[in-house]
Amino acid sequence: MNEVVTREATCACGDLRATLAGEPLMVSSCCCTRCQRRTGAFFGVTVYYRPRQMTAQSGTAATFHPPDGSTTFHFCPRCGSSVWWVPEEEDDVIGVAGGCFADTSLPAPQRMVWTEHRHPYVRPPPGVPTFTGAPD
C-alpha cells in the first residue's frame, strides 16, 4: 500500500484549516470575474475532492452565497480567505482553494475555464484544454 498523501489548506491568518487526504479528482483554473474578485488574483484555482476526503477541519468558517450563484463559499471571518466551497448542483464534490495549500506538490491545473475573461498575459500550461465559458 502506498501512503496516502495529505495536504492542509489554510487561510491567510491560520485560523481556518482543512486537511485533505488522497489526490484530488481534478485541478481547474478559472478566469471568471467572480473568481478574480473573490481571490484578488487574475484567476482562481479550484482543487476538486470528494467531501469524504476532507478528514479534519479547525476554526469556524463563515459562508457566502453569491446572489446569482450556485456555490456556497466557506471563508475565514477573521482574514477573509475563502478556503473551500460546495457547488449545489453537483453531488459529492467540494472545491478547495488551490492557493490555500501553498504546496508546490499539488498537481498542475488540468483545464482553464472562462477564458473569455482571461487577462492576455495569463497563460494556461501548455497543452491544457481551455474553455471560453463553463466547461462542457
* Binding stretches for Zn ion (CB under 5 A): 11, 13, 15, 30, 32, 35, 76, 78-79
What's the closest the beta carbon of residue 62 comes to Zn ion, in angstroms? 10
Name which of 13 and 56 has its Cβ closer to Zn ion.
13
Name which of 4 and 41 has its Cβ closer to Zn ion.
41
Cell of residue 34, nine digits: 467572480
Name which of 52 and 135 has its Cβ closer to Zn ion.
135
- What residues contact residue 109 under an 8 Å CB cut-off, 6+ apart? 27, 28, 29, 45, 98, 124, 125, 128
Asked whether the beta carbons of 80 and 73 are under 8 A apart, the reply is no
What's the closest the beta carbon of residue 34 comes to Zn ion, in angstroms? 5
What's the closest the beta carbon of residue 75 comes to Zn ion, in angstroms? 8
The residue with cell 485541478 is 27
Closest by CA to 26, choosing from 128, 132, 133, is 128
Name which of 2 and 89 has its Cβ closer to Zn ion.
89
